[in-house]
Amino acid sequence: MKIAVVYNRDSQNVINLFGVPNRERIGHKTIKRISDALKAGKHQVKEVEGDKNLIERLGDFMPKVLKGELPGLVFNVSYGIQGQARYAHVPSILEMIGIPYVGSGPLAHGLALDKVVAKIIFRQHDLPTPEFVVLNSWEDELSPDLLFPMVVKPKNESVSFGVTVVHNENELREAARTIFEAFKQPVLAEQYIEGREINVGLIGNNPSEALPPVELLFPENGPSIYTYQDKVHQSGREIGFECPANISEETAQKAQTLARRAFEVLGCYDCARVDMRLDAEENLQLLEVNSLPSLGEHGSYTIGAQHVGLDFPALVNRLVEVASTRYFGTPKPVRIAKKSSDTGELVMSFLTQRRDQIERRLRIWTNLHSRTSDPFGIQQATMKFSQTLDEIGLHPVEELTDNKTAWTWQTKSGLTDGTLFVGHLDVALTPEIPIQVFRRTPEWLYGEGIGLSRAPLVMLEFVLKALKSLRKLNSLPVGVLYYADEGRDNIESSDIIRAAAERARRVLVLRPGNPKNKVVIERRGWRKYQLVAEDAPARLGKARKKPEILRWVCKKLEDISKLSSKQNRLSIAVSDIRPTTFPMLLPHKVEATILLSYSDKEIADDTEASIREMLAENGFHCQLKIVSDRPAMKNRSANKRLVGDLAEVASNWEIPFGKESSLWPSVAGLVPSSTPVVCGLGPVTRDVYTPNEAVERISLLQRTLLVAEFLAKQAEG
Give the domain-ending residue among 328, 344, 362.
328
* pLDDT of 591: 96
* pLDDT of 669: 96
* 485/478 Cα distance (integer angstroms): 23
The answer to whether the pTM exceeds 0.85 is: no
Residues 667 and 709 in one domain: yes
Find out whether 89 and 95 touch, Cβ atoms under 8 Å: no
CATH code, domain with 412: 3.40.630.10
Q: State the Cα angle at 616 between 610 and 618, rounded to 5°.
A: 130
* 648/710 Cα distance (integer angstroms): 9
Helices (H), 272-399: 300-307, 312-328, 343-352, 355-366, 375-392
CATH code, domain with 554: 3.30.70.360
Q: Residue 247: pLDDT above 70?
A: yes
* 477/472 Cα distance (integer angstroms): 10
Q: Residue 27: pLDDT above 90?
A: no
188 within a domain of the structure (yes/no): no
Paired strand residues for 436 = none
| Overall residue count recorded for the chain in this entry | 717
Which of 88, 6, 16, 11 has its CA nearest to residue 55? 6
Residues 565 and 544 in one domain: yes
Which of 479, 103, 53, 142 has its CA nearest to residue 266? 103
Find out whether 695 and 455 touch, Cβ atoms under 8 Å: yes
Find out whether 476 and 419 touch, Cβ atoms under 8 Å: yes
Helix (H, G, I), strand (E, B) or coil at 177: helix
Residues 639 and 562 in one domain: no
Average pLDDT, the chain: 91
Question: What backbone phi and psi angles, to 5 degrees, belong to 65?
Answer: -110, 165
Q: Quick one: average pLDDT of 202-215? A: 94
Other beta carbons within 10 angstroms of residue 67's beta carbon come to 11
549 within a domain of the structure (yes/no): yes
Share of the chain above pLDDT 70, in %: 96
Find out whether 51 and 14 touch, Cβ atoms under 8 Å: yes
Residues 482 and 400 in one domain: yes
337 within a domain of the structure (yes/no): no
Give the domain-ending residue among 630, 653, 673.
630
Residues 566 and 612 in one domain: yes
Q: Residue 611: pLDDT above 90?
A: yes
Q: Residue 181: pLDDT above 90?
A: no
449 within a domain of the structure (yes/no): no
Paired strand residues for 73 = 3
Q: What is the pLDDT of residues 382-393, one digit of tens each?
A: 999 999 999 999
691 within a domain of the structure (yes/no): yes
Find out whether 276 and 286 touch, Cβ atoms under 8 Å: yes
Residues 117 and 202 in one domain: yes
Helix (H, G, I), strand (E, B) or coil at 418: coil
Residues 486 and 531 in one domain: no
456 within a domain of the structure (yes/no): no
Q: Residue 209: pLDDT above 50?
A: yes
Supply the range of the domain harboring residue 38: 2-102
Paired strand residues for 371 = 427
* pLDDT of 330: 57
- Alpha-carbon torsion 600, 606, 607, 609, what sign? positive
For residue 229, name the pLDDT band (cuts at 50, 70, 90).
low
Q: Which residue has the higher pLDDT, 446 or 69?
A: 446
213 within a domain of the structure (yes/no): yes
66 within a domain of the structure (yes/no): yes
Q: Quick one: average pLDDT of 98-110? A: 96
Give the domain-ending residue among 596, 630, 664.
630
Helix (H, G, I), strand (E, B) or coil at 441: coil
* pLDDT of 401: 97
Q: Which residue has the higher pLDDT, 460 or 239?
A: 460
* 54/94 Cα distance (integer angstroms): 9
* pLDDT of 543: 74
Residues 281 and 229 in one domain: yes
Residues 579 and 645 in one domain: no
Give the single-character DSSP code of 333: P
Q: What is the pLDDT of residues 319-358, one digit of tens each?
A: 999 999 899 875 443 333 334 457 888 899 899 889 999 9
- Which DSSP string do the residues of 500-519 spell out, in sequence order? HHHH-SEEEE-PPBPTTSEE
Give the amino acid at 216.
L
The total number of structural domains that make up the chain = 4
* pLDDT of 109: 96
Q: What is the pLDDT of residues 486-539, one digit of tens each?
A: 999 999 999 999 999 999 999 999 999 988 999 999 999 999 999 999 988 888
Helix (H, G, I), strand (E, B) or coil at 26: coil
**What is the chain's alpha carbon radius of gyration, rounded to the nearest angstrom?**
36
Residues 536 and 659 in one domain: no
Which of 444, 443, 435, 395 has its CA nearest to residue 415? 395
Residues 215 and 124 in one domain: yes
- Alpha-carbon torsion 597, 600, 605, 611, what sign? negative
CATH code, domain with 66: 3.40.50.20
Residues 489 and 538 in one domain: no
For residue 234, name the pLDDT band (cuts at 50, 70, 90).
low
* pLDDT of 158: 66
Q: What is the pLDDT of residues 567-584, one digit of tens each?
A: 999 999 999 999 999 998
* 15/36 Cα distance (integer angstroms): 32
